Amino acid sequence: MNYNLNSFIRYCLLFIFCVLSASSAFSNDEEKKVLLMKIDSEIDPRTNRYSELALDYAKEIEADIVILEMDTYGGAVNDADDIRTRMLEFDKPVWVFINKDAASAGALISIACDSIYMTPGASIGAATVVVATGEAAPDKYQSYMRSIMRSTAEATGRNPQIAEAMVDQTIEIDSITEEGKVLTFSTSEAIKYKFCEAEVKSVEDILERNGVENYEIVKFELNLSERIIRIFLNPFVSGILILVIIGGIYFELQTPGIGFPIAASIIAAIFYFVPYYLNGLAANWEIIVFFVGVILLLVEVFVIPGFGVAGISGILFIVGALVLVMLNNDFFDFTFVKANDITKAAVATLSGLLASILLMFFGGVRLTQTKVFKRISLEDTQKKSEGYTSNFNQHSYMGMRGTAYTVLRPSGKILVDGELKDAYTRGEFIEKDHKVEVIDESGTSLRVKEI
């Protein structure tokens, strides 16, 4: 009886063990989600934002592995630093597949990944920081790059001295690199010195080498809104938006109260600034400078008579901000901004400005003739012969003499009969405190000449 009971217990335990083993095997065979992201262009604020969105999406879909396919000659160090920090802090395995080149900032990002795989003929290294002209940057930048290369290699279990030698040509490592040359590894050399796990030809090869058989590769792509945002980063589109911004402000000042020109200008400003802001190009201070310029322009038009320092400063602030927003400068530090980028930004801004000026001269008359304008404007003429007058003065000032209260260039204010009145000249300038005589009062302002 005891024998049968013991046998029954053994069979039960064996059955439970088999069930648990089968369950464990089924669990291990569960489909893995692999997120594939690509960096195949210059490392810049756009790439920075792309990597942020990609890793956020990886968390959203609960990806088990992230594979970064890379082919880049480098780019901005500050953006590369942001990307490498995200790679180090990501809580799932991040593998990089170097499909030809991982130079400079690309090398830094690659070293931050848990595993490195390279195609035949690929390379990694040459991380010396260079300025826009291609020359080596000052030592303070090199020192920073050496530091983050070294600390990144330490964090991922790689030789920090080798990582530092990819930046500093003065470092000499026996049988690896000699003084005077920045270190760059081929695929075989990277494998030899443990900066690459293996030579592979595809993402599938990487998964096979790691024993991942049941998987789904999810390729990350920017959603529609992000693709639209990238369209607005095109310098040509930026130039059109600048045209609408400046043209809208001008036509609103010419016909205050209509609302449509300024509404178009505000919408264009949103479409102009938001994409650059989201991609890390537009800094807060640059946007503030733009709005300060608009305020100065409004003050010049509505508060200060004529056109002087405030108006000129406002225009310079507006144009300067529109150019700076397109450039990856660090508060007027253009060390790493390419001359070509500066040229594109300047051409886009000046083209938009020139087009808006042409629109002001040739489009203003046509605008008043459109059906839309006629619907919102008053076309009836209040003729003098019908008893209408634009003279709102309590009494006539015709022929009276007074003093220029402000400079008339050609408009301003005069003091006449103890009252302050708006006035304008026949085109000439009259200095402040000079004597004037009223020669016409048919409009809302008095027309004067200098005595």
Note whether 287 and 142 are same-domain residues.
no
Determine, yes or no, domain membership for 10.
no
The two tokens of residue 100 are: 């030809």
Lowest mean pLDDT among 81-90, 125-134, 342-351, 441-450: 125-134
If asked whether residues 61 and 82 sit together in one domain, one would say: yes
pTM of the predicted protein model: 0.64
Whether residues 370 and 397 share a domain: the answer is no
Reading the block at residue 129, the tokens are: 């920081």
Is 15 strand, coil or helix? helix
Are 325 and 416 within one domain?
Answer: no
pLDDT tens for residues 93-151?
999 999 999 999 999 999 999 999 999 999 999 888 877 666 777 887 888 899 999 99
Measured between alpha carbons, how far is 245 from 266 in angstroms, rounded to an integer? 7
- Whether the predicted pLDDT of 51 surpasses 70: yes
- Give domain status of residue 320, yes or no: yes
Q: Which of 151-165, 250-264, 319-333, 362-376 has the lowest mean pLDDT?
A: 362-376
Same domain assignment for residues 187 and 305 = no
Q: Is the pLDDT of residue 255 over 70?
A: no
Written as six digits, the tokens of 388 are: 């209408």
What single DSSP character describes residue 136? B
Residues 230 and 362 in one domain: yes
Q: Is the pLDDT of residue 246 over 90?
A: no
DSSP lists the bridge partners of residue 101 as 123
Q: Cα torsion for 413, 416, 418, 423, to the nearest 10°?
A: -20
| 3-state SS assignment for residue 400 | coil
Looking at the fold, whether 127 and 98 belong to one and the same domain comes out as: yes
Averaged pLDDT, 21-27? 42
Do the domain assignments include residue 393?
A: yes
Phi and psi dihedrals of 207, rounded to 5? -65, -40
Q: What is the mean pLDDT of the chain?
A: 82
- Round to whole Å and give the CA distance between 291 and 126: 42
d(CA 384, CA 89): 78
Half-sphere exposure of 63 (CA within 13 A, CB side): 25
Report pLDDT for 299. Answer: 81
Structure tokens at 275: 């994409």
Say how many domains are in the chain: 3
pLDDT digits (tens, 9 = 90+) for 272-287: 888 888 877 788 888 8
pLDDT at 28: 46
Q: Does 317 lie in the same domain as 196?
A: no
The answer to whether residues 397 and 299 belong to one domain is no
Q: Identify the domain boundary among 330, 349, 376.
A: 376
Asked whether residue 301 falls in the same domain as residue 437, the answer is no
- C-alpha 398/C-alpha 236 separation (Å) is 54
Joined tokens for residue 226 = 């992000």
Residue 120 phi, psi dihedral angles, 5° rounding? -60, 135
CATH number of the domain within which 391 lies: 2.40.50.140
pLDDT over 80 at 449, yes or no: yes
Cα distance from N-terminal residue to C-terminal residue, the chain? 136
Most confident of the ranges 35-49, 107-121, 213-227:
107-121
Last residue of a domain, one of 160, 194, 221: 221
The answer to whether residues 187 and 236 belong to one domain is no
Whether residue 353 has pLDDT greater than 50: yes
Domain of residue 422, residue span: 384-450
- The residue type at 282: A
Q: Does an H or E element contain 144, and which?
A: helix 139-155
Residues 87, 52, single domain; the answer is: yes
**Domain of 211: which CATH number?**
3.90.226.10
- Of the candidates 357, 376, 395, which is a domain's last residue? 376
| Structural domain includes residue 2 | no
CA distance 447 to 411: 9
